[in-house]
């Protein structure tokens, strides 16, 4: 054979971000078993997210939410031909490595599960498999991208069936990007320093307890604070040049109806995650198909109206001000 | 010249940008339109089906009438290109995955494809690839299909590890990888077919 093996490269940034780009304009649906995964694929989902429980049930049952049973994830992988994603806890490298080992196509390091690390997210550049991470703001998004996330999604407020938080996060992101475009390179550097300061938390706490100052210090995964600022500065320059995030940006967290999905697309989302909205509705098949069509035709009100007819009951949903627990504040 | 990019799902924007750059490089004046509904493809000189999920793209183009317009364009001998999912949809024959999911194909390329032939996402890769008539390109294979069988009217443009990954039949191009992520060379060749 004449193949030069050294030229074949797995898990490069291009390969990981490329995978996320192939999902654009699509709907990714939360499923808890093979049967639901087949319904999602038949409805036209571009991928499924394998979960132990949908966010609404996680919210209702309380307790620690963890990675799904790998056996169930494998059953889902065997049942459908579209990509299968799965969630790991924030900072839980061992869960992520286990998910990579069984061959999931993308890992969601998700605030919907109970975080395993209050200081740091996973350094995702150490993985072959691509990651998606939630973000409420540009700062969160840029940190996740620096860590190696190939896709960003709004956090919204998962399991509520209430789109208001997803809208808030998309608007905050869009406005921040708008401001970045007209910010000088010099001032962008101070934005980078501000964004990177989140990584100092562990070091600050420890040094405060010890009462010492340290000059040059590795704070995360072999990087000094200055290294991280440089990395984040480069990402901000790229955002300024592109006028958008350098990775795909989906909407997630509270999308319950076709019109919700269309709204998020109108706000500039590259695609949509639907969690509890489909399998907590009274007619999952119909809801799933309707949301796929609404995303495709988000700018055609007649289509959105048509697919919204006689859908039956959407998930019940909850008022944000009545919540006692916010998933979106996890993992910043 | 007007080029339509089927825009129902996938990396549509990347194809639009690559095609525009290719036009610029060749000094061709024209427009590139991404379309999510019927009526545009039939008024175009060439059409591109992007990468994405073949199950999703197939459902949406057959439901909305875009599929018929692509077939009509082929009958008028206009250039058509499909990359990855687009290649699958252009094919005449699929594998058991295509069958199982009931994915409808346009049957324009006289080939048989196999979906996800290299494996799952962790087996996705990039490599240098030599393509006949085009030259060397950086090729990104993402959960990529391969071409298992070709008819006598189909020319093989590239192989990787003995597997066929690029073909041409008349003015129809089918690629298992994603030139739109790395180069404009393939789009320039595609435009030259017009």
Out of A22, A82, A128, whose CB is closest to B142?
A22
Residue A68 tokens read as: 């799904």
Substitution target in A24, A261, A288 with the highest count of B β-carbons within 10 Å is A24
SS in 3 state form for B103-160? Answer: CCCCCCEEEEEECCCCCCHHHCEEEEEEECCCEEEEEEECCCCEEEEECCCCEEEEEE
* A296 has a chain B CB within 8 A of its CB: yes
Nearest C-alpha in A relative to B98: A81
Token output for A15: 């390969």
Segment A218-260, tens digit of pLDDT: 999 999 999 999 999 999 999 999 999 999 999 999 999 999 9
CA distance to partner chain B, nearest, from residue A149 (Å): 15
Neighbours of A92 (CB within 10 A): 22
Q: Is some CB atom of chain A closer than 8 A to the CB atom of B130?
A: no
pLDDT at residue A280, rounded to an integer: 87
How far is residue A2's CA from residue B79's CA, in Å, rounded to a whole number? 32
Identity of the residue in A44, A45, A81 whose CB atom sits nearest the CB atom of B60: A44
Report angle CA A30, B7, A79 to the nearest 5 degrees: 30
Q: Of chain B residues 61-80, which have a CB less than 8 A from chain A?
A: none
> What does R_g of chain A's alpha carbons equal in angstroms?
20
Q: What is the distance in angstroms between the Cα of A18 and the nearest Cα belonging to chain B?
A: 7
pLDDT in tens, A130-174: 999 999 999 999 999 999 999 999 999 999 999 999 999 999 999
A3 interfacial to chain B (CB closer than 8 Å):
yes
**Stretch B73-102: mean pLDDT:** 97
Number of residues that this document lists for chain A: 332
What pTM, to 2 d.p., does this model score?
A: 0.96
Q: For chain A, first and last CA: distance in Å?
A: 49
Give chain B positions within 8 Å (CB) of A44. 55-56, 59-60
Q: Quote the mean pLDDT of chain A.
A: 94
Percent of chain B scoring above 90 in pLDDT: 99
By CB atoms closer than 10 A (0-12, 13-18, 19+), residue B102 is exposed
Q: What is the DSSP letter of B43?
A: G
Q: Do A25 and B8 touch (CB under 8 A)?
A: yes
Instruction: Kindly report the nearest CA distance between residue B181 and chain A, in angstroms.
Output: 7
**How much is the pLDDT for A4?**
53
pLDDT > 90: percent of chain A: 84
Q: Are A15 and B124 an interchain contact pair (Cβ–Cβ within 8 Å)?
A: yes
Q: Which of B89, B182, B56 is nearest to A25 (CA)?
A: B56
Which of A16, A87, A155, A168 is labelled catalytic? A87
**Candidates A44, A130, A244, partner chain B, best to mutate (most B CBs within 10 A):** A44
pLDDT in tens, A14-43: 999 999 999 999 999 999 999 999 999 999
Min distance B165 CA to chain A CA atoms (Å):
14
**Chain A residues with CB-CB distance to B55 below 8 A:** 41, 44, 81-82
Query: Which candidate from A3, A21, A83 shows the least CB-CB separation from B11?
Result: A21
State ipTM.
0.97
Does residue A10 belong to the interface with chain B, where contact is any CB pair within 8 Å?
yes
Which of B124, B136, B141 should we substitute to test contact with A (largest number of A Cβ atoms within 10 Å)? B124
A195 CA: distance to closest CA in chain B (Å): 29
Q: How many CB pairs under 8 A join A and B?
A: 125
Which of B36, B52, B84 is closest, CB to CB, to A297? Answer: B36
Q: Is B119 left (phi over 0), alpha (psi -120 to 50) or beta?
A: left
Going from the N-terminus, what domains does chain B have, and what CATH number goes with each? 2-191 (3.40.50.880)
What would the pLDDT profile of A67-110 be if each residue is shown by its tens digit? 999 999 999 999 999 999 999 999 999 999 999 999 999 999 99
**pLDDT tens column, B5-47:** 999 999 999 999 999 999 999 999 999 999 999 999 999 999 9
What average pLDDT does range A304-318 have in this prediction?
Answer: 89
Cβ distance of A130 and B53 shorter than 8 Å: no
- Check if B76 is active-site: no
Nearest CA to CA, how far is A83 from chain B (Å)?
8
B13, B126, B160 member nearest A15 (Cβ): B126
Closest partner CB to A18 (pick from B13, B127, B178): B178
Whether B142 sits inside 8 A of A18 (CB atoms) is yes
For residue A147, give Cα distances in angstroms to A88, A120, A235: 16, 10, 11
A81 touches chain B (CB under 8 A): yes
> Do the chains contact at A46 and B116, CB–CB below 8 Å?
no
Cβ(B174)–Cβ(B91) below 8 Å: yes
Q: What pLDDT digit, counting tens, does each position of A189-215 carry?
A: 999 999 999 999 999 999 999 999 888
Can you read off the two tokens belonging to residue B66? Answer: 């875009």
Based on DSSP, count helices (H) and strands (E) in chain A, helices before strands: 14, 11
């Amino acid at each position: 054979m004449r193949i030069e093996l050294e030229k074949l490269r797995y898990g490069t940034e291009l390969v990981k971000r490329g995978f996320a780009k192939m999902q654009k304009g699509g709907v990714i649906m939360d499923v808890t078993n093979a049967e639901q995964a087949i319904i999602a694929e038949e409805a036209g989902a571009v991928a499924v997210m394998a979960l132990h429980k949908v966010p609404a049930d996680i919210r209702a049952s309380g307790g620690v939410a963890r990675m799904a049973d790998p056996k169930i994830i494998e059953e889902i992988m065997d049942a459908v031909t579209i990509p299968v994603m799965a969630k790991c806890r924030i900072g839980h490298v061992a869960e992520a490595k286990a998910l990579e080992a069984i061959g999931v196509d993308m890992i969601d390091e998700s605030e919907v599960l109970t975080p395993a690390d209050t200081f740091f997210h996973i350094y995702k550049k150490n993985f072959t498999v691509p990651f998606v991470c939630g973000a409420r703001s540009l700062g969160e998004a840029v940190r996740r991208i620096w860590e190696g996330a190939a896709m960003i999604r709004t956090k919204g407020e998962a399991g509520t069936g209430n789109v208001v938080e997803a809208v808030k996060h998309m608007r905050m992101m869009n406005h921040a990007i708008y401001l970045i475009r007209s910010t000088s390179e010099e001032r962008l550097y101070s934005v980078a320093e501000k964004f990177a300061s989140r990584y100092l938390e562990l070091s600050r706490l420890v040094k405060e307890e010890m009462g010492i100052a340290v000059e040059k210090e590795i704070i995360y995964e072999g990087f000094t604070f200055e290294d991280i600022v440089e990395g984040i500065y480069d990402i901000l320059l790229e955002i300024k040049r592109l006028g958008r995030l350098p990775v795909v940006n989906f909407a997630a967290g509270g999308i319950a109806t076709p019109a919700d999905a269309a709204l998020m697309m109108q706000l500039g989302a590259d695609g949509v995650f639907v969690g509890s909205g489909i399998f907590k509705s009274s007619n999952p098949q119909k809801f799933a198909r309707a949301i796929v069509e609404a995303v495709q035709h988000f700018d055609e009100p007649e289509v959105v109206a048509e697919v919204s007819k006689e859908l039956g009951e959407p998930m019940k949903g909850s008022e944000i001000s009545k919540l006692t627990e916010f998933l979106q504040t996890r993992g910043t | 010249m007007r080029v339509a990019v089927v825009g129902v799902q996938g990396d549509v924007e990347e194809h639009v940008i690559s095609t525009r750059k290719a036009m610029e490089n060749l000094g061709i004046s024209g427009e590139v339109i991404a379309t999510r509904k019927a009526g545009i493809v039939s008024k175009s000189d060439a059409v591109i089906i992007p990468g994405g999920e073949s199950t999703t793209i197939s459902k949406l183009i057959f439901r909305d009438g875009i599929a018929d317009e692509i077939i009509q364009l082929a009958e008028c001998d206009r250039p058509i290109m499909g990359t990855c999912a687009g290649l699958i949809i252009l094919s005449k024959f699929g594998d058991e995955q295509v069958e199982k999911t009931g994915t409808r194909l346009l049957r324009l390329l006289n080939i048989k494809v196999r979906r996800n032939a290299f494996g799952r996402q962790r087996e996705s890769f990039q490599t240098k690839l030599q393509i006949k008539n085009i030259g060397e390109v950086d090729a990104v294979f993402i959960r990529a299909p391969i071409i298992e069988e070709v008819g006598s009217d189909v020319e093989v443009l590239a192989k990787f590890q003995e597997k066929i990954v690029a073909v041409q039949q008349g003015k129809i191009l089918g690629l298992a990888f994603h030139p739109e992520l790395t180069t404009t060379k393939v789009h320039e060749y595609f435009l030259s077919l017009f």
